[in-house]
């Protein structure tokens, strides 16, 4: 990531998820403007999921644990392009994501229209230091135990919603 991420241009959406303009990432966050996000669930060949901790400098959910790699597409960038770019930037390896389903998420901090992708990669990863402080593959049982014990707390609420939808198999529009 070069320069000030707050100055990156992102697409702003209407209530139906259609692009209606662009704004800087900082303006988008300040005014809680609806925007796009790509989410990547990263698994290894053993079916373990990558869990990582976000840096304390993230503009939303700093220092939270997350089950999704990803981010906000640049203005005009497709979800698939963003998924490849974000995955490569954050993991430090080229990836080939597979689209799974679309999501919508909102809370007091953010309003997101997203697309979820699956990635199979065994690492090793060279985590982007501006984005990720640590990460590792865990079994699905260890993920659940880590959530219950607080080891993976706090957990990113949008990523957790994505994970729950993935687990449920409810991938309808």
90 marked ligand binding residue: yes
Q: Which helix (H) or strand (E) holds 137?
A: strand 132-138
CB count within 10 Å of CB 157 equals 15
**CB-count exposure of residue 4 (10 Å: 0-12, 13-18, 19+):** exposed
Tokens 């704004």, located at residue: 23
Cα-to-chain-centroid distance, residue 169 = 19
| Half-sphere exposure in the Cβ direction for 132 (13 Å, CA) | 23
Would you list which residues are annotated within the binding site for Mg(2+)? 86, 90
Would you list which residues are annotated within the binding site? 86, 90
């Amino acid at each position: 990531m070069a320069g000030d991420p707050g100055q990156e241009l992102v697409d702003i959406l209407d209530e139906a998820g259609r692009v209606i303009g662009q704004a800087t990432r900082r303006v988008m966050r300040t005014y809680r403007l609806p925007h796009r996000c790509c989410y990547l669930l990263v698994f290894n060949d053993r079916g373990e999921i990558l869990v990582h901790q976000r840096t304390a400098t993230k503009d939303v959910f700093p220092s939270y644990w997350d089950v999704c790699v990803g981010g906000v597409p640049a203005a005009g960038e497709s979800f698939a392009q963003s998924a490849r770019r974000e995955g490569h930037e954050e993991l430090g390896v080229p990836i080939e994501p597979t689209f799974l389903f679309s999501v919508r998420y909102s809370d007091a901090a953010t309003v997101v229209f997203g697309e979820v992708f699956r990635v199979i990669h065994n690492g090793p990863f060279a985590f982007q230091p501006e984005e990720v402080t640590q990460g590792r593959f865990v079994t699905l049982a260890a993920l659940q135990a880590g959530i219950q014990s607080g080891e993976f707390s706090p957990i990113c609420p949008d990523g957790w919603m994505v994970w729950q939808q993935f687990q449920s198999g409810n991938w309808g529009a």
